[in-house]
Amino acid sequence: MTVIVTGGAGFIGSNFIFYMLKKYPSYRIICLDKLTYAGNLSTLAPVMDSANFRFVKADICDREAVYKLFEEEHPETVVNFAAESHVDRSIENPGIFLQTNIMGTSVLMDACLRYGIKRFHQVSTDEVYGDLPLDRPDLLFTEETSLHTSSPYSSSKAAADLLVLAYHRTYGLPVSISRCSNNYGPYHFPEKLIPLMIVNALADKPLPVYGKGENVRDWLYVEDHCKAIDLIIHKGREGEVYNIGGHNEMRNIDIVKLICKELGKSENLITYVSDRKGHDMRYAIDPTKIHGELGWLPETRFKDGVKKTVKWYLDNRAWWEPIISGEYKNYYERMYKNR
């Protein structure tokens, strides 16, 4: 089986590639990635020379490059992780989110139609459901929850989801969609909450908490997400959406305090800053469908996953130090100075 993994030089895509190469040594895995600021070729160094792995630098919006790759490789499966993924950047500059997340997805599906495919899997997000109130813990997102987006990022992901379902209904493309909650783990780009707090705390820099820090996210260790996608592409039903989440709701402020504790740093580093525009209050996934149909359950408990993640950042400074000393510095200034 040949699998194209788009966005495989990013956080979740790279973890998925490692997972797949280990679990299915007979599969051929092709990573197609544009290497934006969020893509890092050094992440893939451990597998770059594997006989059954190929890396191709290309933009999913580049029809010619995508068609050429399909012609060369004739993949059975495409898993689309490629996206602009950071909400704060989408608030600053929505255009590239629409381009990559919507147009890029349509180019990939056009290639699937043209060359034939067994499964196109779209990696989506719980953010397409909008948010839930803090005072209704009984409410969770199911696959039937209506789409109700808040940011340009989540709107672009919701648009892509609708397009994927339209290609299924109109052209019969064999698709599936997964909507996962917040991931954490190795290779997470340090613009996102957990890695940002770890690398700032290690440098004794302020830990910028948006608003009051009461917003809630449902955290899942990245490997559990990879296992869920593996199950969906092999056993999930065509045309279906599967929610993925670990019943692990945490307030941002409690996560930041936990990271301080793990690193032996003072909570005095915590600095409350002005809130994100349109900030979603709470996400919470109901994973009943994927559990019932495919037997998926999260395996890593949050307290173990956070310990593993903190240790990974301590052991892998060579991965993240070059990142935060480059263009990231300008981003950080723009986003956090005078906030």
Q: Which of 58, 188, 162, 225 is nearest to 233 (CA)?
A: 225
86 binding ligand TDX? (CB under 6 A): yes
Q: Which is nearer to ligand TDX, 3 or 285 (CB)?
A: 285
Which residues, numbered 221-260, are part of the site for ligand NAD (CB under 6 A)?
A: none
Distance CA 84, CA 269 (A): 30
104 binding ligand NAD? (CB under 6 A): yes
Identify each DSSP E strand in the chain by its residue range.
2-6, 28-33, 53-57, 77-80, 119-125, 175-180, 183-184, 207-210, 216-218, 220-221, 240-244, 249-251, 270-273
* DSSP 8-state code for residue 76: S
Q: Which of 132, 135, 112 is nearest to 6 (CA)?
A: 112
127 catalytic residue (yes or no): yes
Distance CA 83, CA 157 (A): 9
Q: Which of 59, 84, 127, 218 is catalytic?
A: 127
State the first-to-last Cα distance of the chain, in angstroms, to the nearest integer: 49
306 binding ligand NAD? (CB under 6 A): no
Q: Which of 59, 84, 126, 249 is catalytic?
A: 126
Query: What DSSP assignment string belongs to 203-248?
Result: TT--EEEETTS--EEE-EEHHHHHHHHHHHHHHSPTTEEEEE--S-
Helix, strand, or coil here: 135? coil
* Least gap, CB of 133 to ligand TDX (angstroms): 15
* Least gap, CB of 82 to ligand NAD (angstroms): 4
Q: Which of 105, 149, 176, 182 binds ligand NAD (CB under 6 A)?
A: 182
123 binding ligand NAD? (CB under 6 A): yes
Query: Which of ligand NAD, ligand TDX, none interacts with 224 (beta carbon under 5 to 8 A by kind)?
Result: none
280 catalytic residue (yes or no): no
286 catalytic residue (yes or no): no
The count of residues interacting with ligand TDX (CB under 6 A) is: 16
Binding site for ligand TDX (CB under 6 A): 85-87, 125, 127, 182, 192-193, 196, 208-210, 215, 217, 252, 276
Binding site for ligand NAD (CB under 6 A): 6-7, 9-13, 33-36, 38-39, 59-61, 81-85, 100, 104, 123, 125, 157, 180, 182-183, 189
